């Protein structure tokens, strides 16, 4: 059962956080696939590991005997949790252990575990028995009913937290509210997006580049996975058996960074924000080059204005081609196609410049609006114009060979 020679640690994947399809994994392990792989991320859980492994094995043997694996992913814990887990593999052949030396973090630990897992369904549970193991069978039946993702939730019927302080409850709910504001389409899909206890069909994640950060692996799955159907099961978050929570302020900061990173990379809003950030950088390039041409090179006003504007357009094109529309341009790699995009980008920006001047005159001279307010309105309107036309013209029309 244990694919690794007994008492040998699992290899630690490196590089990108892409979950491979199961055939790729089986090609390396030379073993058959399983229905279910459950990752147990650990850091200083030596006292809890024997109990959680025993409870999970007894539970899963009842329903999935011989067709599941438990993978402890330990980050080189000072209490040698990985060694305690290794000693258990003799009695639990379905248990495997990964000891990470160079990487740390709950979310990355889970994904490294999923990258070596052989199951069609991938799960995660905490090692400290705060996630009641018996709930696994209810989560599993959600998956059997057809759910792509089954989440243990503290915020549905039968849910709750046992010993959390008011502060921890407030922080958790506060974090969820910020997430709902920034990423309603992601955080709003489940009642407990902070949950660290769930299982997901591997197919939802295969080939999708994940970029995990901090503790909240579920929002990465919701944000970057392809998850049509979600089921939830209520549970009460238990008191810790031994050891202590590793949550510090760092995890809250990482959560906000994670939300911003997802916000910037997901959907048209994320793309528009990236386009705006690039445009904003262009203002500094434009002003800087204008200053150098006027003060250092002593060039005339109009020539300085035109040259600096063109350098800014080049700056914006390069960043937009690489970052804002990178997911599209990487399918249009040829130099001719890139030059075509640059020329179109220039034309759109030139049209945008003319639109900008016309708008400023219209708002100032016809509607009597303050000239600086007019300028700001014109910049905002032209940014939307530039974004939309570039998306439809410069980065779409060139033949995209997918
Ligand atoms: N490999 C690894 N590396 N494991 C880690 C790390 C790490 O850096 N940090 C924590 N873990 C493991 C712990 O050993 C434990 O098994 C699990 O991740 C949860 O860590 P705790 O520190 O106990 O977190 P918590 O109890 O405060 O919160 C947990 O439950 C919440 C509700 O589901 C976490 O899972 C939260 O993400 C979750 O929101
Ligand atoms: Mn815990």
E strand or H helix that includes residue 359: helix 335-361
Q: What is the mean pLDDT of residues 88-107?
A: 95
Q: 0.85 exceeded by the pTM? A: no
The model's confidence at residue 398, banded by pLDDT at 50, 70 and 90, is very low
- Contact at 8 Å (CB) between 50 and 141? no
* Residue 5 neighbours by CB distance under 10 Å: 6
Strands 119-124 and 149-153: unpaired
Q: Is 220 in the pocket of ligand 1 (CB under 6 A)?
A: no
pLDDT at 15 over 60: yes
**142 or 393, greater pLDDT:** 142
pLDDT at 90 over 60: yes
- Contact at 8 Å (CB) between 275 and 198? no
Mutate to test the pocket of ligand 1, among 246, 247, 248, 249 (most ligand atoms within 8 A of CB): 246
Question: Which residue has the CA at smallest separation from atom 13 of ligand 1?
Answer: 42
Give the Å distances, CA to CA, from 367 to 27, 359, 363: 70, 11, 5
pLDDT for 399 equals 43
Tell which atom from ligand 1 comes closest to the C-alpha of 105.
8
pLDDT digits (tens, 9 = 90+) for 241-299: 788 888 888 888 999 999 999 998 888 888 899 999 999 999 899 889 989 998 999 99
Q: Give the three-class secondary structure for 279.
A: helix
Q: Is 255 in the pocket of ligand 1 (CB under 6 A)?
A: no
- Contact at 8 Å (CB) between 159 and 234? yes
Q: Is 215 in the pocket of ligand 1 (CB under 6 A)?
A: yes
Tell which atom from ligand 1 comes closest to the C-alpha of 104.
8
Question: Which residue has the CA at smallest separation from atom 8 of ligand 1?
Answer: 105
Calpha distance 77→99 (Å, rounded): 9
Q: Is 159 in the pocket of ligand 1 (CB under 6 A)?
A: no
Sign of CA dihedral 383, 388, 394, 396: positive
Q: Cβ-count burial of 277 within 10 angstroms (0-12 exposed, 13-18 middle, 19+ buried)? A: middle
* Average pLDDT of the chain to the nearest whole number: 90
Lowest mean pLDDT among 4-8, 134-138, 356-360: 4-8
pLDDT at 166 over 60: yes
- Contact at 8 Å (CB) between 341 and 398? yes
Q: Is 70 in the pocket of ligand 1 (CB under 6 A)?
A: no
pLDDT for 290 equals 87
Q: Is 195 in the pocket of ligand 1 (CB under 6 A)?
A: yes
Q: How close is the Cα of 107 to the center of ligand 2, in Å?
A: 14
pLDDT for 224 equals 95
Q: Is 162 in the pocket of ligand 1 (CB under 6 A)?
A: no
The model's confidence at residue 217, banded by pLDDT at 50, 70 and 90, is very high
pLDDT at 164 over 80: no
Tell which atom from ligand 1 comes closest to the C-alpha of 194.
39
Q: Which of the ligands is closest to the CA of residue 215?
A: 1
Q: Is 245 in the pocket of ligand 1 (CB under 6 A)?
A: yes
DSSP 20: P
Q: Is 232 in the pocket of ligand 1 (CB under 6 A)?
A: no
Q: Is 212 in the pocket of ligand 1 (CB under 6 A)?
A: no
Nearest to 108 by CA among 242, 230, 258, 244: 258
pLDDT for 277 equals 93
Give the Å distances, CA to CA, from 354 to 97, 224, 360: 63, 39, 10
Mutate to test the pocket of ligand 1, among 106, 124, 214 (most ligand atoms within 8 A of CB): 106
Q: What is the mean pLDDT of residues 208-225?
A: 93
Which structural domains are found in the chain, ordered by start?
22-265 (3.90.550.10), 268-398 (no CATH)
Nearest to 14 by CA among 97, 118, 116: 116
Q: Is 247 in the pocket of ligand 1 (CB under 6 A)?
A: yes
Token pair for residue 339?
């030059």
Calpha distance 210→114 (Å, rounded): 12
Q: Which of the ligands is closest to the CA of residue 71?
A: 1
Residue % of the chain over a pLDDT of 90: 61
Q: Is 316 in the pocket of ligand 1 (CB under 6 A)?
A: no
Q: What is the mean pLDDT of residues 215-219?
A: 94
pLDDT digits (tens, 9 = 90+) for 304-335: 888 888 999 999 999 999 999 988 888 888 88
E strand or H helix that includes residue 348: helix 335-361
| Helix, strand, coil percentages in the chain from 3-state DSSP, rounded to 5 | 55, 10, 35
Question: Which residue has the CA at smallest separation from atom 26 of ligand 1?
Answer: 245
């Amino acid at each position: 059962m244990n694919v690794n020679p007994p008492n040998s640690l699992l290899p630690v994947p490196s590089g990108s956080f892409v979950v491979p399809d199961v055939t790729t994994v089986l090609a390396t392990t030379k073993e058959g696939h399983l229905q279910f792989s459950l990752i147990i991320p650990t850091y200083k859980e030596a006292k809890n590991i024997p109990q959680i492994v025993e409870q999970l094995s007894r539970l899963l043997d009842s329903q999935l005997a011989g067709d599941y694996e438990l993978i402890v992913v330990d980050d080189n814990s000072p209490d040698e949790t990985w060694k305690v887990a290794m000693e258990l593999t003799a009695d639990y052949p379905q248990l495997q252990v990964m000891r990470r030396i160079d990487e740390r973090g709950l979310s990355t630990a889970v994904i490294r575990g999923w990258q070596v897992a052989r199951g069609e369904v991938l799960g995660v549970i905490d090692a400290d028995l705060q996630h009641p193991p018996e709930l696994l069978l209810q989560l599993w039946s959600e998956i059997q009913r057809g759910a792509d993702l089954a989440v243990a939730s503290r915020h549905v019927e039968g849910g709750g937290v046992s010993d959390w302080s008011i502060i921890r409850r407030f922080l958790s709910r506060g974090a969820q509210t910020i997430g709902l504001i920034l990423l309603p389409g992601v955080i709003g899909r489940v009642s407990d997006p902070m949950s660290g206890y769930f299982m997901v069909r591997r197919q939802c994640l295969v080939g999708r580049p994940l970029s995990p950060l901090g503790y909240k692996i579920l929002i990465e799955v919701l944000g970057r996975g392809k998850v049509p159907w979600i089921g939830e099961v209520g549970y009460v978050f238990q008191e810790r058996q031994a050891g202590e929570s590793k949550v510090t302020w760092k995890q809250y900061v990482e959560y906000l960074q994670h939300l911003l990173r997802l916000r910037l990379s997901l959907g048209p809003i994320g793309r528009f924000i990236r386009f705006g950030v690039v445009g904003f950088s262009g203002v500094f390039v434009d002003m800087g080059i204008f200053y150098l041409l006027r003060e250092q090179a002593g060039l005339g006003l109009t020539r300085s204005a035109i040259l600096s504007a063109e350098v800014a357009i080049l700056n914006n094109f390069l960043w937009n081609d690489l970052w804002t529309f990178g997911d599209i341009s990487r399918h249009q790699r040829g130099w001719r196609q890139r030059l075509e995009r640059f020329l179109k980008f220039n034309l759109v920006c030139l049209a945008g410049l003319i639109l900008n001047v016309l708008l400023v005159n219209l708002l100032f001279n016809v509607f009597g609006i303050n000239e600086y307010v007019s300028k700001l309105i014109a910049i905002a309107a032209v940014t939307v114009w530039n974004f939309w036309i570039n998306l439809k013209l410069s980065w779409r029309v060139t033949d995209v060979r997918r």
